[in-house]
Structure 1
């Protein structure tokens, strides 16, 4: 589908669009998302919250954005206009830690430091019900008591709504069976520090976790191969703790946000950081990616959201040069026969399988090495 003026893509850039003064970044914030004029990563800054924006999502077929904040409000934004069209407020009495949507986009669920989870009607903005907890609620997908040794930082449903994954400050990952209401899988010491976020691929087979140990890991959850093999690690993309992560719809990209104020875009097959987006003035608390992979949404402690256009990402000189240096090429997976980006890593030959077939392979596999960085980074 064409990018410019497409009716099916409300986020598409039309030819020479008129500037939007209220969303135009100030000169101090720079014009380009990654601070390179050649990159041409256009973005909008969405201002409207008065405190940390803690969670963000695309919804309504990428025509709207849902966000929540420590300012105790939830806002529904029109993507094209760039301002809120619905505000959910005056119900929570403390910062809102997360917001989530029902699959049909008709209900919003919020969790808060006021010890409650609340459900809202998306159309009217009215609160429908409230559940009270004994302590602060950090995630609103589900609450599982008595199993983690420390605070649960995030939980998410798999696409079939049969299982829930929860991650914690105690460095563990737990999968819960919704039918038996019990733990089906526990991964102890999944990271070397607190795990901050988790997300599934659209088919529910793979799980990505983000951690304060500055890394992300991809696990083969469906077949349980993680019991025999190490997960795929994505390292050296952030200079500090990783706060959030999300797969693209086709799982070819992983997007992560960090306490270093940046957003990292990872090429899943090759296992390396493709691009960093810079511009937020404080921690990046959450990230999202549109279904067509043209836009990335980020939320930050600086009280703003940013909408980044990554449509021309593959044409950025630094991305092209990096691929050349690493000797990358498009190959066909010998197992699933799908095309994937393979990467030459040091003295190792390019792999003949995509990352997902390698993760589920019963034989020892060679994982791509992370890109090198200078010791003082």
Structure 2
């Protein structure tokens, strides 16, 4: 858990002198490193405590905590300032914990596992409030924004369960929702629909009121769709795929029905495992099996920075509400915290935003009135709308060809 002085723009492995692999697990969990590494262009902290792949890491409690879970069958609540574990939750599950999440406006944690169990735990007391066993290996979970409902997915039979968060009672069970394993499920911010993505490369939206699938999308991804995330207003959905790409879907305008999704190009060199929007939707963060974390400016749909330092697959990412912190989980058994507060001062970011020294200027969207940045190379009389308003206009849309395999 000590802070590693690694350059996030370098993939060099740490020297053996800096490794803690030989220390007992209890000693690693007791150690702490609360200082940001100042040798990095992006200050970084490393949280060590898990003994196997970290499957999820979520910033929470006003960005003062990180909740992580692992294939080692434990979950840990970390203090961001000190990098120390506040609580270690062992014995909740008998197999890999595939995902964890917090129930909003509460101190309750949800974990789902390959042992077929969903468990709700009180983070303050460590007490198990309830647990339920469902019909398969649980692959993902999500909470509604009001905290009343939970959703989880199970394999085999590509099942979706809608569950009462108070007592664990199953309210709805949808079987054979996809043709193959469901990799991720997410409530939309309005708690009206559940998005699921799958190894069958499809995207589905299941409506809570009609109790049926209202949207079914052939994503045109060329491989497994591994993750999805909503913008805070629910208008856009981003999907991540093992085909090394991410796509943005305008769910409000419905243009995806005829045009498909908007491809975010030149991102990762490996399969994309995860994606997460900031609350204001200005920043998208993605993680990949190429061991990197990518940052995307959603006003221009441009990648601004690649964070390197993990020594194995990045399995999950999370971004703070103020866009100053990113948490990343990895198969290398660690969680990393990246401090983005001064990201705009990094030369690599300036070069990308400035488009080879031409600079950047702020325009006001003619439709929604919000400011948006563009390279001066892009400015013209035709560029009067931000990307989100342009996506709502089919006549201006130009679909991208699928990436070459």
TM-score (structure 2 length as normaliser): 0.80
Task: Give matches, 1:158-169, under 5 Å.
Answer: 158-169=188-199
2:253 corresponds to 1:223: yes
For residue 8 of structure 2, the aligned residue among 20, 33, 43 is 33
Do the aligned partners of 2:182 and 2:197 also contact (CA within 8 Å) in 1? yes
2:278 corresponds to 1:248: yes
The C-alpha deviation readout for 1:264-311, integer Å capped at 9, x for no partner, is: 001112112100000001000000111111111000000000000111
The alpha-carbon deviation at position 95 of structure 1 amounts to 0.5
The C-alpha deviation readout for 1:57-112, integer Å capped at 9, x for no partner, is: 11111111111000101111111110110122212000000001111142111111
Measured at CA, do residues 190 and 117 of structure 1 come closer, stay the same or move farther in structure 2, by a change above 3 Å?
farther
The alpha-carbon deviation at position 190 of structure 1 amounts to 3.9
For residue 200 of structure 1, the aligned residue among 201, 206, 230 is 230
Task: Give matches, 1:1-377, under 5 Å.
Answer: 23-25=2-4, 30-35=5-10, 40-141=41-142, 142=151, 143=153, 144=160, 145-325=175-355, 327=358, 328-343=360-375, 351-366=383-398
* Unpaired segments ≥5 residues, structure 2: 12-37, 143-150, 154-159, 161-174
Measured at CA, do residues 226 and 368 of structure 1 come closer, stay the same or move farther in structure 2, by a change above 3 Å?
closer
Do the aligned partners of 2:204 and 2:216 also contact (CA within 8 Å) in 1? yes
More strand by share: 2
The alpha-carbon deviation at position 350 of structure 1 amounts to 6.8
SS of match in other structure, 1:97: strand
Take 2:400 and 2:378, find their aligned partners in 1: how far apart are those partners?
9
Take 1:248 and 1:132, find their aligned partners in 2: how far apart are those partners?
33
SS of match in other structure, 1:23: coil
Measured at CA, do residues 176 and 368 of structure 1 come closer, stay the same or move farther in structure 2, by a change above 3 Å?
closer
Measured at CA, do residues 269 and 347 of structure 1 come closer, stay the same or move farther in structure 2, by a change above 3 Å?
closer
Task: Count residues in correspondence.
Answer: 347
Query: 4+ runs of 1 displaced by more than 3 Å?
Result: 35-39, 343-350, 366-369
User: Structure 1 stretch 68-77 or stretch 126-135: which is displaced more?
Assistant: 126-135
SS of match in other structure, 2:355: helix
* Unpaired segments ≥5 residues, structure 1: 1-21, 370-374
